[in-house]
Structure formats: structure tokens, C-alpha cells
Amino acid sequence: MGADPVLRQIAVKTRRSDELIDLTAEINREIQSAGIRTGLCHLSVLHTTAALIVNEAEPGLCEDFLATMTRLVPVDPSYAHPDGNGHAHIKAALLGSSQTLQIRDGVLHLGTWQSVFLVEFDGPRERHIAVCLIPA
Ligand code: ZN
């Protein structure tokens, strides 16, 4: 029988309406402090207008990504949702609210160009990400 899961929560203050924030280093710090060498890391963003993705941390690409999401789901006053942020809910739902990644050698097992991002679509806000680390 393996060890119990380690449950943590990360808080992030976003600064813009739309923004990508690289969480990789902070998640690796949580894995390190939990002392887990091998296992799974499940991440869940606890909001309806933010998402989690895995992609490349290149500034031009981050800009392209956010601009493309806005072209796909424009800010449009005709959404029925009364908060004025219908576009943000739809963009977040298209990308998804969770990621499950492997832990190997005490860090997230990612490809050379992969990072884990929080994607803000309705900032600035404080965002919370639930982290569940499952030792193998
Ligand atoms: Zn809303």
C-alpha cells in the first residue's frame, strides 16, 4: 500500500484581464517539500473563468495564445450570462480546469519545452489551485 496523498493549495494573484502564469517552479517546490520522488500530481483550478494548460513558456507564443483565444471567443455583449464575463467562462471551459502529470525524480515529468500554466481570462483576481500529490 502506498503512502497517503499530500493535499496542498497554491494562491496566485493575477495582474491582467487575460494572462498566462507559469506555475511549474511553484508546483515543483510543493513536490519537493512533500518529499515525493515518484507518483502523480493532480492540479485543479477552483474557478470558472480560469484554466490550466501545458505549453511552451515563450513570451511571443503566450501573447499569440491569448490573442487567438479572444478571436475564437470574443468579448461580446450579446452573451446571455449577466456578469459581463460570458466570454471568460467559455474560454475557461474550452481549455479545462485540471491537469494530471507524472512525478519522476522528485519533479514534474515534463518535456523540454513544456511548462504548466494558469490561464486567467477574467482578471485581475486571486486564484486558487488545489494540488493533490499521490506517491507511487
Ligand atoms: Zn460570470
The whole-number pLDDT of residue 77 equals: 78
The whole-number pLDDT of residue 79 equals: 95
Residue 44, Ramachandran bin (φ over 0: left; ψ between -120 and 50: alpha; else beta): beta
What spacing in Å lies between the alpha carbon of 79 and ligand 1's midpoint?
10
- Reading the block at residue 33, the C-alpha cell is 517539500
Q: Where are the domains of the chain?
A: 6-135
What spacing in Å lies between the alpha carbon of 73 and ligand 1's midpoint?
15
CA distance 39 to 36: 7
Task: List Cβ neighbours of 125 (8 Å cut-off, separation of 6 or more).
Answer: 13, 14, 47, 50
What spacing in Å lies between the alpha carbon of 108 and ligand 1's midpoint?
32
What spacing in Å lies between the alpha carbon of 58 and ligand 1's midpoint?
30
Q: In Å, what is the CA distance from 57 to each residue of 22, 98, 116, 123?
A: 7, 18, 9, 20
pLDDT in tens, 74-133: 998 799 999 999 999 999 999 999 999 999 999 999 999 999 999 999 999 999 999 999
What spacing in Å lies between the alpha carbon of 85 and ligand 1's midpoint?
5
- Reading the block at residue 14, the C-alpha cell is 493575477
The whole-number pLDDT of residue 3 equals: 86
pLDDT in tens, 33-62: 999 999 999 999 999 999 999 999 999 999
CATH 2.60.120.460 corresponds to the domain 6-135: yes
The whole-number pLDDT of residue 26 equals: 98
The whole-number pLDDT of residue 1 equals: 55
Q: Which residue type occupies 67?
A: A
Q: Which residue type occupies 70?
A: T
The whole-number pLDDT of residue 71 equals: 96
What spacing in Å lies between the alpha carbon of 75 and ligand 1's midpoint?
13
What spacing in Å lies between the alpha carbon of 84 and ligand 1's midpoint?
7
What spacing in Å lies between the alpha carbon of 76 and ligand 1's midpoint?
13
What spacing in Å lies between the alpha carbon of 65 and ligand 1's midpoint?
22
- Reading the block at residue 86, the C-alpha cell is 460570458
CA distance 61 to 55: 9
